[in-house]
Structure 1
Amino acid sequence: MRVDPDKRRKDIAQVTIDLVAREGLAAATFRRIAAEGGWSTASITNYFVDKQDLLVWTFQVLSVEGERRFEEALDISENDPVPALLTMAPWCPANVRRWKAYLAFWDAAVRDPELAALLADSTSVGMDLLERLVSRSLRAGADARVAVELLNATIQGVALQMLVDHRGWSEAKIRAILLESHKSAIGRFAAASSM
C-alpha cells in the first residue's frame, strides 16, 4: 500500500510533538521517533534530512495546529473571547501537550537562530490573532497593539504558572482570569488612547 507522504510527515510530527512534550528535544532522535510511531528509522530519514529539518517541520505543524484551533474558536464564539483565549492556555491535556512542546522549542530557540526565527514568526501570527479578537471590542480603526501585548503577557504568565503547579487552576478560574484579562486589556487601552 502506498504511503501518502504529506500524511506520513504530519504523523511523524505528531509523534515528535508527543515525545518532545514528555521528554524534551534531546529525546527526539530518529530512532526514538521511529520506535514510538512503529516505523523504521529509514522511513524517517526518507522524509527528513536531519534532526534540524524534522524539528523545523514539527514546530511548523505545532504552530499551524494552534492557529487553526484559535481561528475555529474565534469563528464559533463571536461575542465571547474566552473560547479563543482558552486555546492559548494549558487548561486541558491537548493544550498541556502543546505548551510543553512549545517550551522545549523556546528553550532551544535561545541558542538556535533558525528556531528563533520560526518562533518569532509564530509569535507574530499569534499576536495578529489576538488583535483580531481584541479589535472586536474596540472602536473601528483603533490600534489594539497595547491591549494585545497586555493580554499575551497575561496568558503566557498564567500558562507558565499552570504548567509548573497545576493545582488550584480549575477551568472556571482560568475562564474567569482570561475574561478579566481581556476586559482589563481593553479597558487600559481605551483609557490610554483617550489621553
Structure 2
Amino acid sequence: MVRANPERRRALLDASIEVLARDGARGLTFRAVDGEAAVPAGTASNYFANRDDLLVQVGHRYYERLIPDAEVLARGRAPQTRDSMIDVMTEVVERVARFRTGYLAILELRLEATRRPALQSLLTDRVRTDLDLNIANYRASGLPDGENTVVLLYFALNWLILDRLTLPDLFDEQRTAELVRTAVERMIVEPV
C-alpha cells in the first residue's frame, strides 16, 4: 500500500464519497474510485488494502471534512443561551446539508456498518465522541437539562437533515430554519 502521497489519498477518499453518494455502497469499487478521481486504473488499490479498509478510511475522511472552522468551534464552547443555541444548531444543520454527498455517503456507510464490524466500531466511536463533546459543551454552557437535550437534538436534527437532502421539496431552507428554532425552543426550557 502506498502512503507517500497524502494529497492523492485524500483525493481518492473524496472521490469515494462522491461514488458512495451517487452509486451506493455496491457501486463503490476501486475502479469506480479511480475513475471518479481521474487517476490511472489500479491507483486506489495501491492506497487501500481492501474494500473494508477503503470504507473505514472514507468514514474518517467524512468526519474530517465536517470539522467546523475555529470560529464556529469557539462559539460552540462559549456560554450559551437558548437563542445562541438556535444559531449553533442552525449552523450545524446548514454545514452538514452543504456537504450533501458526504451525508449521503455516511448513510451508505451506516448501512454497511451493520455488516462490517470495523466500520461499525469506527462510526460508533466517532458518534459517541461527538456526542460526549457536545454534552460536555452543553453542560458547561449553564443551560438546563444536559445529556438528554443534546441527544434529542441530535436525533431530531439528523432526521431533519436526512429529509432535507433526500426529499428536498419537503422543507425549504426557511422552513428548515423554523424547525431548528422550534426544536431548540421546545427542548431547552430556560428557567424563568
Q: TM tier, shorter chain?
A: 0.7 to 0.9
Q: What secondary structure does 1:69 align onto? A: coil
- The runs of 5 or more residues in structure 1 that have no matched partner are none
- Structure 1 position 75 matched with structure 2 position 74: yes
Report % sequence identity: 21
Partner of 1:85 in structure 2? 89
Partner of 1:16 in structure 2? 16
Q: What secondary structure does 1:123 align onto? A: helix
Change (3 A) 1:178 1:70: farther
Aligned residues: 184
**What RMSD, in angstroms, separates the aligned Cα atoms of the two structures?**
2.8
Change (3 A) 1:127 1:181: same
Alpha-carbon contact 2:149-2:187 (below 8 Å) kept: yes
- Out of 106-115 and 73-82, give the one that drifted further: 73-82
Higher relative contact order (CA 8 A, sep 6+): 2
- The runs of 5 or more residues in structure 2 that have no matched partner are none
| 1:72 positional shift | 4.8
The separation in 1 between residues aligned to 2:97 and 2:153, in whole angstroms, is 22
- Correspondences of 1:110-149 after superposition (within 5 Å): 110-132=114-136, 134-135=138-139, 137-139=141-143, 144-149=146-151
Partner of 1:54 in structure 2? 54
The separation in 1 between residues aligned to 2:107 and 2:156, in whole angstroms, is 16
Amino acid at match of 2:19: L
Partner of 2:175 in structure 1? 173
The separation in 2 between residues aligned to 1:93 and 1:82, in whole angstroms, is 16
- Correspondences of 1:86-105 after superposition (within 5 Å): 86=90, 88-89=92-93, 94-105=98-109
Q: What secondary structure does 1:81 align onto? A: helix
Alpha-carbon contact 2:97-2:103 (below 8 Å) kept: no
| 1:9 positional shift | 0.9
Change (3 A) 1:84 1:21: farther
Amino acid at match of 1:30: F
Change (3 A) 1:134 1:33: same
Alpha-carbon contact 2:135-2:147 (below 8 Å) kept: yes
- Out of 4-13 and 158-167, give the one that drifted further: 158-167
Amino acid at match of 2:56: V
The separation in 1 between residues aligned to 2:131 and 2:118, in whole angstroms, is 20
Amino acid at match of 1:98: G
The separation in 2 between residues aligned to 1:84 and 1:131, in whole angstroms, is 14
Alpha-carbon contact 2:20-2:28 (below 8 Å) kept: yes
